[in-house]
Amino acid sequence: MGSGSTLPGVRRIAGIVLAVLLIGGVVAAVVAGRDTGDKGTATKTVHGVIGSEKAEFFADPEVVKALAAKGYTVKTETSGSWAMEGLDLKEYDFAFPSSQAPAEELAAKYKVRGTLPRPFYSPLVVVAHRDAAEVLRRNGLAKLEKSRGTFDMTAYLKAAEDGRTWQQLKGAEKYGELTGLLYIATTDPTTSNSGALYLAATSFVANGGRVVAADADVRKTAPLLHELISVQGAQQTSTDAAFRDFVSGVGNPLVLVYESQVAALLNQDQGQASADDLVVLYPDTTVNSDHTVVPVTQEGRALGELLGTDPTLRKLAARHGFRPQGAATEFTAATADHTTYLTPRLAVRQAPVPTSEVLHEMARRARGQ
């Protein structure tokens, strides 16, 4: 009877010992996993504010997987590149504006030292509906080769100065949608990078092929820049919205966007239907948009450098239309089926970008502020 009464107690003790051993084994396994570098699902979460044109890249499941494989979970919010200066970046690990000028301004504000990572870039292009592109060609404003071409910036600025309308262009009478003043629709240059870079390119042409630097240059080019912007009325705050409107068939027949947006559309299965009426015009004087990381923390810097060096992430960036820095092999491979629209090698003049201070002043005057 005594032995029978002790059996449950023995079993309870044995169960407790077994549970402790099991827990110990689990703990040992976790520690061993860490010691052997088994990252599993353990990742560092980094927070960033990015230009809207990179939102689809960071949301891509393959990009998420590639970053996780390197130990990162990236959470992002979007903002206009020039509007980032109004945010408190101390809440983020990095900012990722669409060009160097706003990035350098942010770096100075937050005392970020060292070279800023620039993992990829994208030239600005003018997207046009096919009818509009053909009218531009007939009037010496563009050269066409299938669904891509070159946009003559000097001829365009002359037409803008003269207040030229679509109705004054030969061949436009056949197309009822081509009415009103001839202009390129852009984003707001006071908040958006592409709009500001448009001013950099057009002011360079208007200033006789010299970057706007002195006050005299600003005064000289201000009337034309104001004309280019004021004629547009209300402007979009992001190229993402402007490009979606264009693809859906609303808005202006000429819109300034990033080449990356066009390439990403073409790389999507559903992109071909939208591309049937698309012509991509490379301005003969343009500005590349260098997507530049401003690392606020060490994790932000490590992520920025990883985006530019990891082979998988470089290929994925090219699939989303960005041109990785350095060799053009990834972009060429990613867009090999779309050379009807895109040119792998750029053969246009690059305009230097004015300083942030000058660019801000140009943008304010262009907006009539």
Task: Express each pLDDT in 199-255 by its tens digit.
Answer: 999 999 999 999 999 999 999 999 999 999 999 988 988 888 889 889 888 879 999
pTM of this structure: 0.82
What is the rounded distance in angstroms from the CA atom of residue 300 to the CA atom of residue 287? 26
Residue 19 in domain: no
Greatest CA separation for the chain: 113
- Within this chain, do residues 285 and 331 fall inside the same structural domain, yes or no? no
pLDDT digits (tens, 9 = 90+) for 68-97: 999 999 999 998 888 898 899 988 999 999
Same domain flag for 173 and 315:
no
Residues of the domain holding 354: 122-289+340-366
Q: For residues 182 and 168, give the distance between their C-alpha atoms in angstroms, rounded to a whole number.
A: 9
83 or 49, higher pLDDT: 49
Residues 153 and 67 in one domain: no
Residue 16 lies in a domain: no
Do both 77 and 94 map to the same domain?
yes
Q: CA 117, CA 303: separation in Å to the nearest integer?
A: 9
Q: What is the DSSP letter of 53?
A: G
One domain for residues 207 and 276: yes
Residue 298 lies in a domain: yes
Contacts of 273 (CB under 8 A, 6+ apart): none
Determine the Cα–Cα distance for residues 300 and 84; give it in Å rounded to an integer: 16
Q: Are residues 273 and 166 in the same domain?
A: yes
Quick check: 105 and 297 in contact, CB under 8 A? no
Specify the number of domains making up the chain. 2
Same domain, 177 and 206: yes
Same domain flag for 214 and 313: no
The single-letter DSSP state of residue 181 is B
Query: Is the same domain home to 153 and 190?
Result: yes
Residues 127 and 276 in one domain: yes
Name 311's Cβ contacts closer than 8 Å, sequence gap at least 6. Answer: none
Which CATH number belongs to the domain containing residue 362 in this structure?
3.40.190.10
* Domain-embedded: residue 37: no
